[in-house]
Amino acid sequence: MDLGRGGRFAPWTFGQPAPKCAAMGTFSKMHGLGNDFVVIDARAAPVPMTEARARAIADRHTGIGCDQLIVIGPSERADVGMRIFNADGSEVAACGNATRCVPLFVGHGVTIETQAGLLDAQLSGDGASVDMGAPRFDWDAIPLAYAMDTLSMPASWEDLPPPAAVNVGNPHVIFFVDNLDAVDSARLGALIETDPLFPERVNVNFAQIIDPHHIRLIVWERGAGLTRACGTGACATAVAAVRRGLAQGPVTVSLPGGDLVIDWAPGGTIHMTGPATFVFSGEADWESF
């Protein structure tokens, strides 16, 4: 699988300057373990997306409402292309829960072009199984502001233990704690996300090892806050646990919204399996956002 990492990302057709979009467009509301998405079909007609428009659509009071906005469009390298926007309007390279929704949205297994590379997603049970590619561990691939060991970072916040850092298409920092319920994840997540150590901000994972094949996890997602589930967070946490000798794949990662199964061995790619759910479909006037 060509991950396309380390080089310049080739934009998709729908990411290029395009004619003004049609007044009305279709969308689906979907979720993966409660991490919810507005999925826009831009394969036939372009839907130009800006930070302001994405933020307006994601607003739960005046828009449609979602954790992330997903735009599905054509690709010259894969079956479809996927762009991902957080609720604050920022565009990100990867979202594991959204990736599982794509084959359900399309109706069959697909290869997906993302800013993180090419991903393969196949329908599986009530969801999908996704090859998320190989994790990266170099400090400048996370990225961090300066060189350091990413397996046990010589940095911490308050009484948290030294974390690990992993890039799985987006940056994650993982804290392994003894008692997950005692962690003020909302306050600490907001504090750590914007720390200058992380020049592109960071997703913050608080994890508790239950046994070598089971991890509890809470994720503060950059640009979205506390979320019921984070697929890339589950991937990054399982990878960090295996690297530290705390776990062995396959690992069940239990999030507030439910469980994901992550399988990874050093030198390989990450395989994530879990549910994806269609909620409803609708039409919207994108020019009104």
Q: How many CA atoms lie within 13 A of 104 on its CB side?
A: 26
pLDDT of residue 126: 86
Please report, for the chain, the start and end positions of each structural domain, with discontinuous segments joined by +. Answer: 13-130+276-288, 164-268
Beta strand 80-86 with 110-114: parallel, antiparallel or unpaired? parallel
CATH class of the region 164-268 = alpha beta
170/183 Cα distance (integer angstroms):
23
pLDDT of residue 19: 42
Cis amide leading into 250 (omega within 30): yes
pLDDT of residue 23: 59
261/254 Cα distance (integer angstroms):
9
What sign for the dihedral angle of Cα 145, 148, 154, 159? Answer: positive
169/136 Cα distance (integer angstroms):
8
Q: Considering the candidates 21, 95, 101, 235, report the single residue annotated as catalytic.
A: 95
Q: Is 230 a catalytic residue?
A: yes
Beta strand 68-73 with 271-275: parallel, antiparallel or unpaired? unpaired
Q: Considering the candidates 21, 66, 101, 230, report the single residue annotated as catalytic.
A: 230
pLDDT of residue 20: 47
Six token digits for residue 104: 């359900």
Instruction: Tell me whether the CATH fold assigned to 13-130+276-288 matches the one assigned to 164-268.
Output: yes
Six token digits for residue 206: 């608080």
Q: Is 95 a catalytic residue?
A: yes
pLDDT of residue 186: 97
Backbone φ and ψ for 10, nearest 5 degrees, come out as -80, 120
Closest to 257 (Cα-Cα) out of 234, 240, 239, 235: 234
pLDDT of residue 25: 84
Closest to 82 (Cα-Cα) out of 29, 25, 120: 120
pLDDT of residue 15: 44
Neighbour-count burial for 162-175, b at 16+ CB within 10 Å, e otherwise: ebbbbbbbbbbbbb
pLDDT of residue 116: 86
Q: Averaged in consecutive runs of 10 residues, what is the pLDDT profile of the chain (289 residues)?
A: 31 42 78 95 91 96 95 95 95 91 95 92 92 96 98 95 96 98 97 97 98 98 92 97 96 97 97 95 91
pLDDT of residue 171: 97
pLDDT of residue 5: 29
Q: pTM of this prediction? A: 0.84
CATH class of the region 13-130+276-288 = alpha beta
